[in-house]
Each structure stands twice: as C-alpha cells, then as structure tokens.
Chain A
C-alpha cells in the first residue's frame, strides 16, 4: 500500500513533465494538424543553452528563465523556417517535415558541438532533498514539479477559457477551416500556438534538464516520444486528453518498472511502447475521442 502510494507520487512527478510536453504537442496539432516529431528539439536547444550558460558560471536562477525563453524562441523560429511552408499539406508531408526538423536540429549540434555528452551541474536540491508525509518519502524535486505543473495547467486553462486568443485556439482545434471562415487569423493563432507550445516545453525542459544534468545532439528524441505518445494516448486534438495522457504515461512507466521482475526491468520502455501500440490497435482515437466525421 505504501509502495503503491509512493509509486503514484513518483508517477505523478514524471507524468507532470509528460503532461506539459503532451499539451504542447496537442496545441500545435490543433491548429495545423501537425504531429510534431520535432517537439523534443526545443529541449535539445535549451539544453545546449543551459550547458553554455552553466559552464560560463551563470546561476540556475538565471538559467531557468533562459531555458524557457530559448524554448519559446526556438519554437517560433522552427515554425517560421519550416512549418509555415507546409501549412495545409497532407498528413504524410507534415509528419516527415517535423521528422526532418528533428534531424536537422540534432545534426547541427553534431556538426558544431560534438556527438559527446555535455554534462552540467544540477542544483543540489533536485537530487538529495526529500520530505516525509507519514511513511512516504517524497522528493522535493517531484513536489516542485507537481506544484509548478499544476499552476501552469491552471494558467493555461485560464488562457484558453478567458482570452480571445484561447477562444480562437480552441475554435481552431475544433474545426480549423470553419474557425478561419469565422475570422480567426490563422497566422496569429498558429504562431501563438507555437509560442504556447514552446512555453510549455520550456517549463517541462527546465525539469527535464535538471533531472538529466546533460545534453546530447539526440537528446530530443526521448522527450519528443514522451510528449507525442502521451498526446496520442489522450486523443490528438483534445487538450484535456493530452494532459491526462501525460499522467497516464508517467504512471504506467513507474508502475511497470516496479512490477516487472528485475531480469527484464530494462524492458520497461519496450513494454510501454508495446502497450501504446496495443492501445492504438484497439482504440486508435485515444482515450478522449474527438469526433472527426468527413463530409461527403
């Protein structure tokens, strides 16, 4: 029982980061039907920025906002350079475009930095600090992640529900063509979506990088997969589903890791992928189905 509670908390912490990533993926999918395989590159780029800043003696207090700003800017630049040119293209083209962005960004770091792992110092409290709640040992880091994530989700929800931009974004996600007919400016909405997606990835990236303490040219694959898969689990196009999908994925990972016998614990990731494949086979529309009827 205690173990289960402990696992739930661990899963919640992990799932929080996934939820932020997935929400960013879902927001972008909503406005241009793009499944963004390049989402993890926001963390790769911020990771190198963090590495550069920290090795130059900057404090984490400055690096945290730096990571977020770099993620937002990177998201906007990628939209401008690549995605703005394939708006309205087929799903096939969109998928491969984002795949291409992923490879170009990681190749650039391979070319100009190196293939080797770049380590940077992590803040002390992220590794050792815990506090007790009855029999439970809770990491301070997880607590911060969960609290910040909840605040971020709350703020995002306010943004989506209470502002014109949020309304436009939700309208576009529900039916992009109609939204445009109703006067929603596609440029503004799409750029706004990418900025929001970058902001969420930046916040997730802060935690991701604090936990990893390193970056490599291909560091984006892992967060990308987590974000994309979580968004898919939730049902693409559903923002709420993406958040749920993130938490579900985090919990699934932690629970699998604790349940699998030691000899095959290394296969946790493999099991997660297999589960996701099964999910897609039996429920291709995800948990939270969004009605998509084609007019004939």
Chain B
C-alpha cells in the first residue's frame, strides 16, 4: 500500500469535504428556514446559538470521538480562550470602567475581534499543550478515568481562577462586557467558524493521524503492538480540538456581548456533552445531528414548560400533563436525554456514520475490482532474532527461566509447550508487554530489551493476539491500512505489500468494507494475520493463530501464514500447543516447559526426543 493513495491524494479528500459542506448546508439552511418561517428575534437568536454550539460540539468531538477519552475540560479551555478574546477585543473605555487594575497592561490593548480570536486560539492551544503533556503522562487510554478526572479538575481550576481574579475577569457578578452595540452584529464570522470546524473535523478523522488515533481508541494495546504511540495522536487531536472549541467560545462571547465565569462551566459542559453523545460521539455527522436534535428538543421542552399545550394552539382548562409541563423542563430534558441514551443507545443516534460515507455509498458504489495478488517476494537481507536467557517472574511464579532461542528471517520457528509453559509470556516479552526480570534479545545484534511496545513493533517484532484484538469499529480495509501507514512511516526500506493484496490473500476480499467486529471468528483471525503482515515485520509473532478454528481452516491457515511470510520476507515465530499444526508449519521447533527450553530441532528430531515425549506428549497427549 502506497500511503499517498489514502492520505494525500485529492480524490480521497473530496468526499470528506463534500460531507462538511453538506452538514454546513443542513445547519445553515435549516436555521435560515426556521427563522424565516417564524420571523421573530427569538427564533433568530435560537439559530445563532445553535450554530455556535455546533462549532463547540464539533470541536469536542475531534478529541472525544477520535481518542475515546471523555473530557469534561474542553469548556474550561473555552473559558480560557473566551476571556483572552474578551480582554483583547473589548475597547479601552469599557475596560477602564470594569477592570481598571487589569494586569499586563491589558487595559490599553484593543484588537480587531478576528485577530483577538486568533490570539485566543493560540493561547488556549498553548495551555492545551501543557495539559496534553500531563494527560500523556497519566497514560490516557481509551475511556481512562485518570484523564477524565484531570480534565474535570481543569474545568474547576479555570472556574475558580475566573471567579477569584476580578482584576482580570471582572469577577463573578460584573464580568466582562462589550459596550452596547459592540458585540457581533453579523453572522458571517459564525458561518466562517462553522465551516472551518466542520472541514477540520472531517479532515482530521480521515487523516493519517486521525486513523491512528481511532485505532488506539478501539484497542490501545493492539495499537501499541502495531507500532502506534497513542499519546502522539491524542496530543494532536487535543490541540486541534481545543483550537476549534476556543474559536466557538470566542464567537459565543462576541455574540453574547459578555462573559461571566458561569458561562463556561458545568451547565455548558452538560449541554455540549449531551449534544455530542445523543448524536453519536464518534462522528462529525453525529455531533451535528446531536446539536440539531437537542436544540429542537430543548426549545420545545422550554416552551412546553412555560405554556403547556398552548404551544400547539391547544388551550386546555386543566391540561393533563401540568405536573410535567413546568418551568425548567428543558433542564430535566437534558439530563434524561443523557441518561436515556447512555442506557439504551450509548453510541448515539448515528454512531460513527458520516454523511460523506453515506453519500459515497449512494452515488459512487464500490467498484467490483478483482482481488489483487501478492507481489513477488523481493530478496531481503536475512535477519536474525536472538533471545538469550530470559527470566520472567510474576511475584513468586517463575513464568520464564532462562529461555533462549535463535530464529532467522525466512524460516518458520515453532514454539510448543503445554499450557503454562510460558509461550505467551515469551511473546509478551518480545513485544514489550512484559518486562523481563533478566535476559536480553536482539535483532541483527541490535539490543531491544526494555524498549516500549510501539518501538519494538517498529523495530520489526509484530504480533497477533491469542484473544483477538482488532480495531472493531474500523473496517477490514482500515484495519490493514492503519498498519500499512505505520509501516510506510517506519520501514520505508522494507518490503511492503499492498494492503489490498494482503486482504485478498487472507481471503477477506469480499468482506473488506465490513467492520472488523462483524467478522466471524476465523475471519477475525485471518484479519489479524493480514494486519500484522501489513506492518512489514522482520519477525511475525503468532500467538495460537488457529485457536478456535476447525481442522480444515487450520490447514488453510498454514498456507496463508507461509505465503504472507514469504511475500514480506519475514521470519515467523508461531506458538501453539497443537503438535500437528506446529510440526506441519515449522522448519524448526523449540519445546518449552516450565519456562525453559527443553528441546529443539527439526520437527522429526523433536518428535523423537525422549524428554519431549515425557514432558509434553506424555501429559498432554497421553
């Protein structure tokens, strides 16, 4: 797979851009139609608020959707940016009235609002960078609690600072305000901001970094094993996301004409989060749908709460629902919507369905391209994996005791042993998921022990998992492409096969547009193999690749493993406890028992070995 075919070619970006335009048209067109129909100032104001909310929610979606980390802190960044914007844009006379003692000579500063927005975005993004370092330090993983708490703390810190620094913010009651008529009087900046937000949101999701972030969202561990460092993608998503949120927040301040600490706090966090999760947090289209649905729902609830059925022109003496139609109904509606969706439809209305995907399926149906074949294997310099005297101890349990082996590129080395012999632990050591207590391993003399998982994957040690770990929400094609992206970046020199050819070789060609989580067991295993091969590994580490497969499937798997390994010029380390499978596939075999190698040699030699018969066959086959 040449990476440019999915990242930078103009054609690949056409659809997301079309999608962003379609969403923009729906929001703006629908809004204009509504306010034209009602013709009231209140209707116009409602639409303006909806458009600004859409910017903010799409901004939050870029982080929460792509990384899977729940953030309560984005509105806190909105507060930071909102204050920077107000401090820079409000005129001197007004500031002299409200905050005469403002620090940093801010009283004298008066910038054009658009420039003030740019500076506000820059300032908040710088803050986000620091927070992002912290989030990374805490090991933010998908849905990680620590990260969520840090973002929550951020929200409260900004709120407390805003309340307690009246010289800067005008404090809790007065706040900062534009002079009368100083606030936003045209919608053009809002339209511009919305378009930027939608385009950025869609482009990021389709970009290389966006895909890698989504892969890490789906399975953090598998992503690391594929050579992805999730923290880098998360940081990028955070910065872009904060930039968009702050743009929206500044527009909100400009439009409102004022800012108070309470404007960007719990209530607004709730409103935006509910919009995001109701629509579907994993997609920009979902975020927009949530904004529309919740704006309509909230307005309806507010009006019902005020006037009951008279909203519909039905005046009843004693309306039957008076006990529900009370003031503040819209707040209950928000809470109930959040709770209801979490319980019954946690993925939201649209999940990660994007309008451009839908359009593409509708108007540009997939071509019936024939399955491509693997390219001829090129000659590669042979690699050598050496594992020396590895010890692993879990508390009092010795999982590996001085295990060692040698494997060359181009050969298939089987590792066999009963359950608990330490086979999976050995793979875990070689892929950085378990730190060995002692011992070392190297490829071509390059020492690798102690490297983090994603570095080992980049060094060429790529694994599959005994318990499947696919990127479930991504399609078959995307699963393999993500790996190909990493390979293109880190092994430009190695033999890489087209992602599509690997998919075809794995027998998944007709399933390539399906989500990985919809595949059956055998296909999932084959997809893991194809994904690992797309990483262009030096050594492919297969952890029980046939577990759960039928005998005939296992036989087919042997051919697939060999075919792929040849095509990418990789050595294979395959683990299993099925002697027939291992002897069928391997050139050489190591027998592991109680954490040590008790025998090694060709399949015939191993089968004839007395210790093996006693230790392994004696107990497992006897």
Contacts and interface: CB of A to CB of B under 8 A. Distances in A.
Interface of A: 35, 82, 85-86, 89-93, 95-97, 99-108, 110-112, 115, 218, 221, 225, 228-229, 232, 236, 264, 266-267, 269-270, 273-274, 276-278, 280-282, 284-285, 294-296
A296 B468 CA distance: 9
Interface of B: 68, 70, 134-135, 137-139, 142-146, 148-150, 153-154, 156-157, 159-161, 163-164, 221, 266, 270, 273, 277, 326-329, 331-332, 334-336, 338-339, 342-343, 346, 424, 428, 433, 465-467, 469
Contacts of B149: 228-229, 232, 276-277, 280
A178 B142 CA distance: 24
Given A107-B335, A267-B164, A82 B157 contact: no
A14 to B, nearest CB: 18
Given A95-B145, A101-B339, A108 B332 contact: yes
A95 B346 CA distance: 11
Nearest to B217: A92
Contacts of B433: 296
Contact of A296 (B327, B346, B428): B428
Contacts of A111: 326-329, 331-332
B150 A280 contact: yes
A296 B467 contact: yes
B157 A97 contact: no
Given A107-B331, A278-B134, 9 more contacts: A86-B343, A105-B335, A108-B332, A228-B149, A232-B145, A236-B145, A280-B146, A281-B138, A296-B433
Contacts of A95: 70, 143, 145, 148
Contacts of B142: 92
Contacts of A218: 266
B68 A92 contact: yes
A97 B345 CA distance: 12
A90 B329 contact: no
A281 B70 contact: no
B157 A296 contact: no
Contacts of A267: 160-161, 164
Nearest to A115: B328
18 contacts: A35-B145, A82-B339, A86-B342, A100-B339, A102-B335, A103-B334, A104-B335, A104-B339, A108-B332, A115-B328, A274-B153, A276-B153, A277-B149, A277-B154, A278-B134, A280-B134, A281-B137, A296-B424
A90 B346 contact: yes
Contacts of B277: 96
A104 B270 CA distance: 11
Nearest to A265: B164
A92 B70 contact: yes
A216 to B, nearest CB: 13
Given A270-B161, A273-B156, A284 B335 contact: no
B339 A273 contact: no
Contacts of B338: 96, 99-100, 103
B157 A274 contact: yes
Nearest to B325: A111
B134 A281 contact: yes
Contacts of B334: 103, 107
B608 to A, nearest CB: 34
B342 A100 contact: yes
A85 B150 CA distance: 27
B153 A273 contact: yes
B343 A85 contact: yes
A294 B221 contact: yes
Given A92-B70, A282-B137, A284-B138, A103 B335 contact: yes
A110 B156 CA distance: 23
Contacts of A285: 146
A3 to B, nearest CB: 24
Nearest to B323: A112
Nearest to B330: A107
Contacts of B335: 100, 102-107
A240 B367 CA distance: 61
Given A267-B160, A280-B150, A97 B328 contact: no
Contacts of B424: 296
B143 A90 contact: yes
Given A110-B328, A281-B134, A96 B150 contact: no
A115 B164 CA distance: 24
Contacts of A91: 70, 143-145
Interface centre among A85, A106, A107, A108 (most CB of B within 10 A): A107
Interface centre among A35, A86, A100, A266 (most CB of B within 10 A): A100
Contacts of B469: 296
Contacts of B327: 111
Contacts of B326: 111-112
Interface centre among B160, B428, B467 (most CB of A within 10 A): B160
Contacts of B343: 82, 85-86, 97
B157 A273 contact: yes
A194 B413 CA distance: 53
A92 B342 CA distance: 9
Contact of A277 (B143, B157, B164): B157
B163 to A, nearest CB: 7
A221 B332 contact: no
A279 B56 CA distance: 29
A104 to B, nearest CB: 4
Contact of A284 (B139, B153, B270, B331): B139
A269 B160 contact: yes
B465 A296 contact: yes
B134 A277 contact: yes
